[in-house]
Amino acid sequence: MQTPWIIGNWKMNGRIDRNIALINAFKTFRLPEKVHIGIASSYPYIHQLYTELQETSIWVGAEDCSQFYDDGAYTGEVSANMLADCGAKFVIIGHSERRTYFSENNDLLKIKLQNALSAGLLPIFCVGETLQERESGQEEKVIASQLAILRDFADASMIVAYEPVWAIGTGKVAEPEQIQAMHQFMNEEILSITGKRDKIPLLYGGSVNADNASIILKTSCVDGALVGGASLKADVFMRIITAATE
Protein backbone atom coordinates (compact mmCIF):
# COMPACT_ATOMS: atom_id res chain seq x y z
CA MET A 1 0.00 0.00 0.00
CA GLN A 2 1.16 3.51 -0.80
CA THR A 3 1.09 6.29 1.78
CA PRO A 4 -2.66 6.48 2.42
CA TRP A 5 -4.79 9.44 1.39
CA ILE A 6 -7.78 10.66 3.41
CA ILE A 7 -9.69 13.34 1.53
CA GLY A 8 -12.71 15.11 2.99
CA ASN A 9 -15.34 16.35 0.54
CA TRP A 10 -17.53 18.96 2.23
CA LYS A 11 -19.85 19.25 -0.79
CA MET A 12 -22.32 22.19 -0.57
CA ASN A 13 -21.80 22.72 3.14
CA GLY A 14 -20.05 25.39 5.19
CA ARG A 15 -20.31 28.84 6.70
CA ILE A 16 -17.39 31.02 7.77
CA ASP A 17 -18.02 30.62 11.50
CA ARG A 18 -18.72 26.88 11.26
CA ASN A 19 -15.59 26.38 9.19
CA ILE A 20 -13.48 28.14 11.80
CA ALA A 21 -14.89 25.94 14.56
CA LEU A 22 -14.18 22.81 12.54
CA ILE A 23 -10.69 23.92 11.59
CA ASN A 24 -9.86 24.81 15.19
CA ALA A 25 -11.01 21.34 16.22
CA PHE A 26 -8.70 19.80 13.59
CA LYS A 27 -5.81 21.81 15.00
CA THR A 28 -6.24 20.21 18.41
CA PHE A 29 -5.43 16.79 17.01
CA ARG A 30 -1.94 15.51 16.36
CA LEU A 31 -1.95 14.79 12.65
CA PRO A 32 -0.03 11.65 11.62
CA GLU A 33 2.97 12.26 9.39
CA LYS A 34 2.43 9.20 7.20
CA VAL A 35 -1.05 10.06 5.93
CA HIS A 36 -1.84 12.55 3.16
CA ILE A 37 -4.83 14.60 4.34
CA GLY A 38 -6.96 16.96 2.29
CA ILE A 39 -10.22 18.88 2.52
CA ALA A 40 -12.22 19.97 -0.52
CA SER A 41 -14.68 22.81 0.02
CA SER A 42 -17.05 24.93 -2.02
CA TYR A 43 -15.39 27.76 -3.93
CA PRO A 44 -16.17 30.60 -1.45
CA TYR A 45 -14.28 28.91 1.39
CA ILE A 46 -11.15 27.66 -0.34
CA HIS A 47 -9.04 30.69 0.52
CA GLN A 48 -10.36 30.69 4.10
CA LEU A 49 -9.27 27.08 4.52
CA TYR A 50 -5.93 27.80 2.87
CA THR A 51 -5.29 30.72 5.25
CA GLU A 52 -6.33 28.81 8.36
CA LEU A 53 -4.60 25.52 7.48
CA GLN A 54 -1.36 26.68 5.88
CA GLU A 55 0.58 25.95 9.07
CA THR A 56 -0.67 22.36 9.06
CA SER A 57 -0.06 19.42 6.72
CA ILE A 58 -3.68 19.44 5.50
CA TRP A 59 -4.09 20.16 1.81
CA VAL A 60 -6.94 22.34 0.60
CA GLY A 61 -8.79 21.48 -2.58
CA ALA A 62 -11.86 22.20 -4.70
CA GLU A 63 -14.85 20.05 -5.57
CA ASP A 64 -14.79 20.89 -9.28
CA CYS A 65 -13.27 23.25 -11.84
CA SER A 66 -14.43 24.91 -15.02
CA GLN A 67 -14.11 23.44 -18.49
CA PHE A 68 -12.68 26.84 -19.50
CA TYR A 69 -8.98 27.27 -18.82
CA ASP A 70 -8.20 30.87 -19.76
CA ASP A 71 -9.74 34.01 -18.28
CA GLY A 72 -12.69 35.29 -20.26
CA ALA A 73 -16.39 35.96 -20.56
CA TYR A 74 -17.61 32.84 -18.76
CA THR A 75 -19.96 34.27 -16.15
CA GLY A 76 -20.19 32.13 -13.04
CA GLU A 77 -17.27 29.86 -13.92
CA VAL A 78 -14.19 29.24 -11.75
CA SER A 79 -11.06 28.12 -13.55
CA ALA A 80 -8.40 25.71 -12.36
CA ASN A 81 -5.92 28.59 -12.41
CA MET A 82 -8.15 30.59 -10.07
CA LEU A 83 -8.35 27.66 -7.69
CA ALA A 84 -4.57 27.33 -7.61
CA ASP A 85 -4.28 31.08 -7.05
CA CYS A 86 -6.56 30.78 -4.00
CA GLY A 87 -4.40 28.07 -2.46
CA ALA A 88 -5.96 24.84 -3.74
CA LYS A 89 -3.61 21.92 -4.32
CA PHE A 90 -6.08 19.38 -5.68
CA VAL A 91 -9.47 19.21 -7.34
CA ILE A 92 -12.18 16.54 -7.46
CA ILE A 93 -13.30 15.81 -11.03
CA GLY A 94 -16.10 13.54 -12.23
CA HIS A 95 -17.90 13.05 -8.92
CA SER A 96 -21.12 11.13 -9.49
CA GLU A 97 -23.16 14.12 -8.36
CA ARG A 98 -21.60 16.18 -11.15
CA ARG A 99 -22.22 13.39 -13.63
CA THR A 100 -25.84 13.03 -12.47
CA TYR A 101 -26.99 16.61 -11.88
CA PHE A 102 -24.91 18.31 -14.57
CA SER A 103 -24.68 15.52 -17.18
CA GLU A 104 -20.88 15.58 -17.23
CA ASN A 105 -19.49 13.03 -19.68
CA ASN A 106 -16.05 11.74 -20.64
CA ASP A 107 -15.44 14.46 -23.24
CA LEU A 108 -16.05 17.23 -20.72
CA LEU A 109 -14.16 15.48 -17.92
CA LYS A 110 -11.15 15.02 -20.17
CA ILE A 111 -11.00 18.79 -20.64
CA LYS A 112 -11.31 19.40 -16.91
CA LEU A 113 -8.55 16.91 -16.15
CA GLN A 114 -6.25 18.68 -18.59
CA ASN A 115 -7.12 22.08 -17.10
CA ALA A 116 -6.38 20.86 -13.59
CA LEU A 117 -3.03 19.39 -14.57
CA SER A 118 -2.06 22.49 -16.54
CA ALA A 119 -2.79 24.62 -13.47
CA GLY A 120 -0.60 22.40 -11.28
CA LEU A 121 -3.49 20.85 -9.38
CA LEU A 122 -3.63 17.17 -8.44
CA PRO A 123 -6.84 15.71 -9.90
CA ILE A 124 -8.92 13.22 -7.93
CA PHE A 125 -10.89 11.50 -10.68
CA CYS A 126 -14.06 9.76 -9.54
CA VAL A 127 -15.68 6.71 -11.10
CA GLY A 128 -18.62 4.59 -10.02
CA GLU A 129 -21.64 2.59 -11.13
CA THR A 130 -25.33 2.91 -10.28
CA LEU A 131 -27.26 0.22 -8.42
CA GLN A 132 -29.02 -0.78 -11.63
CA GLU A 133 -25.69 -1.18 -13.42
CA ARG A 134 -24.31 -3.33 -10.62
CA GLU A 135 -27.41 -5.51 -10.35
CA SER A 136 -27.30 -6.10 -14.10
CA GLY A 137 -23.63 -7.16 -13.91
CA GLN A 138 -22.40 -4.12 -15.85
CA GLU A 139 -20.21 -2.57 -13.14
CA GLU A 140 -16.84 -3.47 -14.69
CA LYS A 141 -17.95 -2.35 -18.14
CA VAL A 142 -19.10 0.99 -16.72
CA ILE A 143 -15.91 1.58 -14.75
CA ALA A 144 -13.74 0.61 -17.72
CA SER A 145 -15.59 3.14 -19.86
CA GLN A 146 -15.06 5.88 -17.29
CA LEU A 147 -11.38 5.02 -16.85
CA ALA A 148 -10.78 5.01 -20.60
CA ILE A 149 -10.08 8.74 -20.68
CA LEU A 150 -6.88 8.11 -18.70
CA ARG A 151 -5.31 6.95 -21.95
CA ASP A 152 -4.66 10.62 -22.68
CA PHE A 153 -2.96 11.10 -19.30
CA ALA A 154 -0.62 8.13 -19.06
CA ASP A 155 2.24 10.21 -17.66
CA ALA A 156 0.17 12.39 -15.34
CA SER A 157 0.09 12.19 -11.56
CA MET A 158 -3.44 11.86 -10.25
CA ILE A 159 -5.68 9.91 -7.89
CA VAL A 160 -8.64 7.73 -8.83
CA ALA A 161 -11.54 7.32 -6.42
CA TYR A 162 -14.09 4.53 -6.73
CA GLU A 163 -17.46 5.68 -5.44
CA PRO A 164 -20.35 3.33 -6.18
CA VAL A 165 -23.27 5.70 -6.77
CA TRP A 166 -25.58 3.52 -4.72
CA ALA A 167 -23.37 3.97 -1.64
CA ILE A 168 -22.92 7.75 -1.69
CA GLY A 169 -24.83 9.45 1.11
CA THR A 170 -27.12 6.45 1.49
CA GLY A 171 -25.52 4.81 4.50
CA LYS A 172 -24.92 1.73 2.35
CA VAL A 173 -21.34 0.57 1.99
CA ALA A 174 -19.99 -1.92 -0.48
CA GLU A 175 -18.92 -5.18 1.13
CA PRO A 176 -15.14 -5.59 1.56
CA GLU A 177 -15.21 -8.33 -1.11
CA GLN A 178 -16.94 -5.97 -3.55
CA ILE A 179 -14.49 -3.17 -2.80
CA GLN A 180 -11.48 -5.46 -3.20
CA ALA A 181 -12.78 -6.95 -6.44
CA MET A 182 -13.45 -3.55 -8.00
CA HIS A 183 -10.18 -2.04 -6.84
CA GLN A 184 -8.31 -5.05 -8.20
CA PHE A 185 -10.13 -4.63 -11.51
CA MET A 186 -9.29 -0.92 -11.57
CA ASN A 187 -5.69 -1.69 -10.71
CA GLU A 188 -5.41 -4.00 -13.70
CA GLU A 189 -7.34 -1.65 -15.98
CA ILE A 190 -5.17 1.36 -15.11
CA LEU A 191 -2.02 -0.71 -15.52
CA SER A 192 -3.12 -1.74 -19.01
CA ILE A 193 -4.00 1.88 -19.88
CA THR A 194 -1.01 3.73 -18.45
CA GLY A 195 1.53 1.07 -17.50
CA LYS A 196 2.13 3.05 -14.30
CA ARG A 197 -0.21 1.92 -11.54
CA ASP A 198 2.26 3.07 -8.87
CA LYS A 199 1.59 6.71 -9.78
CA ILE A 200 -2.16 6.45 -9.30
CA PRO A 201 -3.45 5.78 -5.76
CA LEU A 202 -6.92 4.21 -5.62
CA LEU A 203 -9.35 5.54 -3.02
CA TYR A 204 -12.73 4.24 -1.91
CA GLY A 205 -15.66 6.56 -1.24
CA GLY A 206 -19.24 5.88 -0.31
CA SER A 207 -20.61 6.37 3.23
CA VAL A 208 -17.16 5.99 4.81
CA ASN A 209 -17.36 6.57 8.55
CA ALA A 210 -15.39 5.97 11.74
CA ASP A 211 -16.89 2.51 12.22
CA ASN A 212 -16.10 1.04 8.79
CA ALA A 213 -12.94 2.97 7.88
CA SER A 214 -10.52 0.46 9.38
CA ILE A 215 -11.94 -2.48 7.42
CA ILE A 216 -12.10 -0.48 4.19
CA LEU A 217 -8.56 0.85 4.51
CA LYS A 218 -7.17 -2.63 5.19
CA THR A 219 -8.72 -3.96 1.98
CA SER A 220 -6.27 -4.94 -0.74
CA CYS A 221 -5.60 -2.29 -3.42
CA VAL A 222 -7.29 0.46 -1.37
CA ASP A 223 -4.91 3.39 -0.88
CA GLY A 224 -7.21 5.66 1.08
CA ALA A 225 -10.69 7.12 1.34
CA LEU A 226 -12.76 9.95 -0.08
CA VAL A 227 -14.97 10.95 2.84
CA GLY A 228 -18.24 12.86 2.51
CA GLY A 229 -20.47 13.81 5.44
CA ALA A 230 -18.15 12.28 8.04
CA SER A 231 -15.50 14.89 7.17
CA LEU A 232 -17.80 17.59 8.59
CA LYS A 233 -17.37 16.15 12.10
CA ALA A 234 -13.87 16.74 13.43
CA ASP A 235 -13.72 13.80 15.84
CA VAL A 236 -15.14 11.36 13.28
CA PHE A 237 -12.81 12.57 10.53
CA MET A 238 -9.82 12.22 12.83
CA ARG A 239 -10.83 8.65 13.72
CA ILE A 240 -10.87 7.86 10.00
CA ILE A 241 -7.44 9.42 9.61
CA THR A 242 -6.18 7.41 12.58
CA ALA A 243 -7.55 4.22 11.00
CA ALA A 244 -5.32 4.93 8.00
CA THR A 245 -2.24 4.58 10.21
CA GLU A 246 -3.13 1.12 11.48
Per-residue pLDDT in tens (0 to 9) along the chain, 246 residues: 579 999 999 999 999 999 999 999 999 999 999 999 999 999 999 999 999 999 999 999 999 999 999 999 999 999 999 999 999 999 999 999 999 999 999 999 999 999 999 999 999 999 999 989 999 999 999 999 999 999 999 889 999 999 999 887 777 778 999 999 999 999 999 999 887 656 799 999 988 999 999 999 999 999 999 999 999 999 999 999 999 998
Q: What is the pLDDT of residue 246?
A: 87
Number of domains in the chain: 1
Half-sphere exposure of 204 (CA within 13 A, CB side): 32
Please tell me the distance from the alpha carbon of residue 145 to that of residue 36, in angstroms, as a whole number: 28
Q: At what angle do helices 46-53 and 16-27 cross, to 10 degrees?
A: 30
CATH number at residue 32: 3.20.20.70
Could you give the residue numbers annotated as active site?
Answer: 95, 163
Q: In terms of residue numbers, what domain contains 237?
A: 5-243
